[in-house]
Amino acid sequence: MSGEETREAEERDVRSQEDTFKALSDAYAFVRGQEQIRALERTSFGDLFRARVVDIEGPSTGGIPSRLEELDSVKGKFDAAVERLRAREEENENADE
């Protein structure tokens, strides 16, 4: 086999592997898509609404904080940082006097 024939054979192998991978990927996507469609068909707007309320208000599952808990944490850290900045500013003003 010449170098060109070897290269062409390798390219055919690569295309064949890509075709195989694409076929498997398409089949997997189809099956997962059908599962998602069935799950969505069994879900009502009320179910989605309740899930979102739980996500926001809690109770949290698996140690993951609810959105309100996250917000409280961020607000607490922000308020503490602002208070430290105010204290530092007051210290600087008192030092200047």
Q: Is the pTM of this model over 0.75?
A: no
pLDDT digits (tens, 9 = 90+) for 32-80: 999 999 988 888 889 888 888 888 887 777 778 888 889 999 999 999 9
Of residues 52, 48, 79, the one with CA closest to residue 66? 52
Task: Compute the half-sphere exposure of residue 32: CA atoms within 13 Å on the CB side of its CA.
Answer: 6
Count of CB atoms within 10 A of residue 66's CB? 17
Are both 53 and 96 inside the same structural domain? yes
Are both 15 and 1 inside the same structural domain? yes
* Cα 96 to Cα 18: distance, rounded to the nearest angstrom: 73
Are both 55 and 94 inside the same structural domain? yes
Domain that residue 80 falls in: 44-97
* Count of structural domains, the chain: 2
* Cα 71 to Cα 64: distance, rounded to the nearest angstrom: 13
Are both 36 and 48 inside the same structural domain? no
Are both 58 and 97 inside the same structural domain? yes
Structure tokens of 36?
């998602």
Are both 84 and 72 inside the same structural domain? yes
**How confident is the model over 2-25, as a mean pLDDT?**
90
